[in-house]
Amino acid sequence: MGKHDLTADIEPLSDVDNGAILRLAGEIDMMTIEVLREAFQGLIDRNLSNVVIDAREVTFLDSTGLHAFVEGKRLIHDHGSAIVMVPSPIVRRVLELVFPDGLFALRVETIDEATAAVKSGDDRYTGPGL
């Protein structure tokens, strides 16, 4: 993987209706943003609208990536479902700085916790103040 690479893999969540894990690895910036946008569109095209974003392997996130996450969350919500993120420390820090009230369930630390939240349809931020 080069400096400006991003991989985005979609895997089904078999125990969640219309569920999927979007696994991201690498840098999310203006050079890789289309990979993320295409992944979100791929979720919608496949009617996968209960989504866990596994961003534990994301090593960089700039403002274009942040904007794509906001657009992606809106796109998923427009289809009436839930989206929960398991962030890397870098992604968590950016989200905490820009969205102190929470954009994603920032206190979710594991894929199992994220899956449980999506399964229940609860993607609201429920943690204490950051």
pLDDT in tens, 69-123: 989 888 888 877 788 899 999 999 998 888 877 777 657 889 999 888 888 876 6
Q: Which of 44, 51, 39 is nearest to 12 (CA)?
A: 51
* SS3 call for 51: strand
For residue 68, pLDDT beyond 50: yes
Q: What is the CATH number of the domain that holds 111?
A: 3.30.750.24
Is 88 inside a domain boundary? yes
- Report pLDDT digits (tens) over 41-63: 999 999 888 899 999 999 999 99
Is 69 inside a domain boundary? yes
Tally of structural domains, the chain: 1
* SS3 call for 81: coil
Is 127 inside a domain boundary? no
Is 26 inside a domain boundary? yes
Is 46 inside a domain boundary? yes
Burial profile 28-45: b = 16 or more Cβ within 10 angstroms, e = fewer: bbeebbebbbebbeebee
Range of the domain at 115: 6-120
